[in-house]
Structure 1
């Protein structure tokens, strides 16, 4: 667990979570005209190492996408993650603007993109740690296929996703289309993104990103609806 002064921690929060999304603005610019946001991509393959992919894990069938609604809370029960979600846009550099460092236990959702539960890939980002303690997505790399991600939405419904893939994407070999694009454009998908690898002090960022992919498998409607 890193330690040090508050200024060092502040820089770590800002650069650590955002480096992998620095290309998002350019990727969106190149794909919106040709395919619309979230154009289809193939399965994540290549040099990206799987964190965990147990054999013989039977995954449930995909649920049809549901009406769009903004996320309010994310839970990963198997990891003890339960956090509020706030909408974020792109900053001046073209990265997703994460929650401020004063809010390390809040998750940022790329608001101009897909809403969780709608067709496409919704993007959620969170800090892995601060200079002094773990942050909201500190344990994200321990996620495994078959585990659940629950998103409470602004209409009171809960969209439940099943994790089907956990990948580590090295900074030097990062393909944004394989992270941000849906595996199947007919499905409602989710990406949970945080820092991975080691912290490169010279570069002021982490050497990799952990990306957890999931797809919609169940929904819960508000009582009385």
Structure 2
């Protein structure tokens, strides 16, 4: 299976070495190919190609960014336009330096890199999900079809819903993977999200997909607390 390589570092003292870790982990991502968790056998994932999928359309008004918030750990992630509403599980790095995605038996869940930014605080919070398994679509199967301007909602353990607006959707092949766009915030001090899964074609020889689908979003508001 292909793995996500992240450039997000642990909290506290670890943040000081973020640039070094980004460079190292992006190199590993390129070498492994595919990057994000995908299908063990590529059952029928959408073929998104190896070029940029959907950038921000010119002239489309976008909401003003909301100031960063005091954030809490995410419990659930929803993309209403795609019918996604999934539990979030905290994930770390495995022994090879990759973000450890949810298990294949939990392919309906989204993994959040717990040593990185909380959704709503400054920086880019990283979420990963499988696109498919050997036999069925997984949580991020339709991720490449989301459009700029659509909403992503994250419910925290404090019950507050943070609302993010999709900025753009890109597909990076192995040769064009851009760590600055994927792992770093587009604007300094802004609260952002990255949703990452596999895309492109499934290469049966290597057992991985040829590209990564990367959805970028930024904080634009909050919703009601649920508890």
The alignment covers a number of residue pairs equal to: 197
Aligned to 2:166: 163
Q: Helix, strand or coil for the counterpart of 1:94?
A: coil
Shift of 1:50: 3.4
Indicate yes or no: 2:177 matched with 1:140. Answer: no
Shift of 1:28: 4.3
Q: Distance in 1 between matches of 2:151 and 2:173?
A: 25
Aligned to 2:15: 32
Aligned to 1:8: none
Shift of 1:57: 1.5
Asked if structure 2 preserves the Cα contact closer than 8 Å seen for 1:75 and 1:150, the reply is yes
Aligned to 1:192: 195
Q: Distance in 1 between matches of 2:71 and 2:20?
A: 15
Shift of 1:221: 4.2
Asked if structure 2 preserves the Cα contact closer than 8 Å seen for 1:146 and 1:163, the reply is yes
Asked if structure 1 preserves the Cα contact closer than 8 Å seen for 2:9 and 2:18, the reply is no
Q: Distance in 1 between matches of 2:18 and 2:210?
A: 30
Q: Distance in 2 between matches of 1:37 and 1:152?
A: 32
Aligned to 1:218: 221
Shift of 1:150: 0.3
Shift of 1:176: 2.1
The root-mean-square deviation of aligned C-alpha atoms, in Å, is 2.4
Q: Distance in 1 between matches of 2:96 and 2:179?
A: 16
Indicate yes or no: 2:157 matched with 1:174. Answer: no
User: Does 188-197 or 177-186 show the bigger shift?
Assistant: 177-186
Shift of 1:172: 2.5
Aligned pair partner of 1:86 in 89, 93, 96: 89
Shift of 1:32: 3.5
Asked if structure 2 preserves the Cα contact closer than 8 Å seen for 1:38 and 1:182, the reply is no
Aligned to 1:130: 133
Evaluate the alpha carbon distance shift between residue 35 and residue 110 of structure 1 in structure 2; reply closer, same or farther with a 3 A threshold.
closer
Q: Distance in 2 between matches of 1:152 and 1:89?
A: 20
Shift of 1:131: 1.1
TM-score of the superposed pair, with normalisation by structure 1: 0.80
Shift of 1:184: 1.2
Aligned to 1:153: 156
Asked if structure 2 preserves the Cα contact closer than 8 Å seen for 1:38 and 1:121, the reply is no
Shift of 1:220: 2.1
Summarize deviations over 1:8-56 as a string: whole Å, max 9, x none.
xxxxxx32xx1xx33x36x749x933568999xxxxxxx9513353342
Gaps of 5+ in 2: 23-49
Gaps of 5+ in 1: 1-13, 40-46
Summarize deviations over 1:92-116 as a string: whole Å, max 9, x none.
1111000001011000000000000
Shift of 1:204: 1.0
Asked if structure 1 preserves the Cα contact closer than 8 Å seen for 2:9 and 2:17, the reply is no
